[in-house]
Structure 1
Amino acid sequence: MDLSVTVDDGVALLEMRRPPANHFDEVLIGGIVDAALGLDDDPRCRVIVLASEGRHFCAGADFGGGDFAADHVDAAARLYRRAVRLFEVRTPIVAAVQGTAVGGGLGLACAADFRVAEAGTRFVANFARLGFHQGFGLSVTLPELVGRQKATDMMLTARRVGGEEAYRIGLADRLAEPGRVRETARALALEIAASAPLAVRSMRATLRGDLAGRVRAALDHELAEQRVHWATRDAAEGIAASLARRSPVFTGE
């Protein structure tokens, strides 16, 4: 099973199981979305903890194999159609982010209401080093969390943002002790679960506003830009360099 769901004390643990990198595709994202939407109607669940098995939270799409290796555009279009529904989930989501959240994995983490990290966690918007436009709604979610300037810094440099910096700039909401990310995420979830559930959902909906609609529009734009970039030599070089674990050499072509 690539995904498991358990519910205890008002908290659902939604765990990805594709270690070590937990690459996603349409099937896994669709499973996460369907499970989360199902939990909306489960009276036992007041908060969802989104976690993953293994060393890393999520490394996004796997350009070295599967659907993304065969056809980037078609695979992304199908994935985004499923992913946008994650923003329609009514239950608060806490992401337990260990290791690395990179590319689309960062987008997945930013789709949650809260992120729990540790000092060793790394958040990476690596798209510019892959040679194409950001995706997974990060055009909306990342600036809302850290501000436009810091989001631009992360996007254009593709640098790694460690857990302590992430906590300072608002990308992480709690900084856990080493090895205790999941426990700390659950503790936060239990705090939320102790509040009045009808009020929590209502307050959250007010604060989010039309987030789902804005992300849907952003995904359409992101995919259109990605479609152009995936046809360039720079994207081919960026993806090849990433798979070979070497520095890319871009030519602007």
Structure 2
Amino acid sequence: MTDLVTIDCQENVAVVEMHRPPNNFFDEASLRGVAQALLRVDAMPEVRCVVLCSEGRHFCAGADLRDVDADGLRRVYREAFTIFTARKPVIAAVQGAAIGGGLGLALAADFRVAGENARFSANFARLGFHHGFGLSVTLPTVVGNQKARDLLYTGRSVQATEALAIGLCDRVTAGEPRDEALAWAREIAQSAPLSLLSIRSTLRRDLVSQVSAALDLEAAAQAVLLGTADFQEGIQASIGKRAPIFVGA
């Protein structure tokens, strides 16, 4: 693998780790690294479950939107879709923030283990942008339609305790989320490998097809909003750590 993403096999569990600390903003290359790592793990018969994690303060603070254009967005989401096609169960270990596209990445996993100080946010509307990474499908799937609307419309930050209560994460730990995720993955890995593959395929079949369609719609909406004054204001306000002033243009 590349320096951006590594694979560490520990008996029947593979640890796929991103290395863009401290924030782990993703771009096309790093998402491709994650996708290729998961496909490579699919070809390892000894591996039955995957822990997806990252080096640094935050799991993933979102996409690197510098110099991005509509074509670049579509390339990014092609890599995102490949992540959804991986065949083996994935547990995301979330430390710090999973924001924007980082939330999308966490929700591509089957489960999420969060640290006590973890926070989650679909902050796109606060940036004058449209959500992506298949969140149109994955977010309502895990928290329900009404809660998904709340999170997408407000872009508010959800702390670990609330995230657990609404189903945005599955476990919260006082220790290292990676350790908890590894323990859970080892438990899953005790199951029959062919059964795991077939059960996951059945459970996610509709999800994968829905995400494919959603990614196209999301990318088209994002391409339109890239050229708006509100998007530029949202980015500048985020950089300046101030409240944005949106004008609807």
TM range (shorter): over 0.9
Whole-Å Cα distance in 2 between the matches of residues 46 and 213 of structure 1?
Answer: 23
Residue equivalent to 1:25 = 27
**8 Å Cα contact 1:7-1:44 kept in structure 2:** no
Residue equivalent to 1:168 = 165
Residue equivalent to 2:232 = 236
Percent identity of equivalent pairs: 54
SS at match of 1:70: coil
- Letter matched to residue 147 of structure 1: G
**8 Å Cα contact 1:15-1:51 kept in structure 2:** yes
Whole-Å Cα distance in 1 between the matches of residues 42 and 64 of structure 2?
Answer: 29
- In the TM superposition, what is the alpha-carbon distance from 1:119 to its structure 2 partner? 2.2
- In the TM superposition, what is the alpha-carbon distance from 1:88 to its structure 2 partner? 0.7
How many pairs are equivalent? 247
Say if 2:153 is the partner of 1:156. Answer: yes
Segment of structure 1 superposing worse, 121-130 or 242-251: 242-251
- In the TM superposition, what is the alpha-carbon distance from 1:43 to its structure 2 partner? 1.4
Out of 34, 59, 62, the position equivalent to 1:60 is: 62
Residue-by-residue CA offset, 1:122-178 (whole Å, 9 max, x unaligned) = 00100000001100100000000000111111111111111111111111111111x
Runs of 4+ with deviation above 2 angstroms: none
- Letter matched to residue 145 of structure 1: V
Residue equivalent to 1:129 = 126
Superposed CA RMSD:
0.9
Residue equivalent to 1:93 = 90
SS at match of 1:152: helix
- In the TM superposition, what is the alpha-carbon distance from 1:70 to its structure 2 partner? 1.7
Question: Counterparts of 1:168-247 in structure 2 under 5 Å?
Answer: 168-177=165-174, 179-247=175-243
Whole-Å Cα distance in 2 between the matches of residues 23 and 48 of structure 1?
Answer: 21
Whole-Å Cα distance in 1 between the matches of residues 45 and 31 of structure 2?
Answer: 23
Q: TM-score, normalised by structure 1?
A: 0.95
Whole-Å Cα distance in 1 between the matches of residues 20 and 82 of structure 2?
Answer: 22
Residue-by-residue CA offset, 1:103-134 (whole Å, 9 max, x unaligned) = 00000000000000022100010000000110
**8 Å Cα contact 1:14-1:51 kept in structure 2:** yes
Whole-Å Cα distance in 1 between the matches of residues 226 and 153 of structure 2?
Answer: 17
Residue equivalent to 2:18 = 16
SS at match of 2:246: coil
Residue equivalent to 1:66 = none
**8 Å Cα contact 2:106-2:112 kept in structure 1:** yes
Q: TM-score, normalised by structure 2?
A: 0.97
Residue equivalent to 1:146 = 143
Question: Structure 1 unaligned runs (5+)?
Answer: 64-68
- Letter matched to residue 26 of structure 1: E
| C-alpha spacing 1:118/1:71, structure 2 compared with 1 (3 Å) | closer
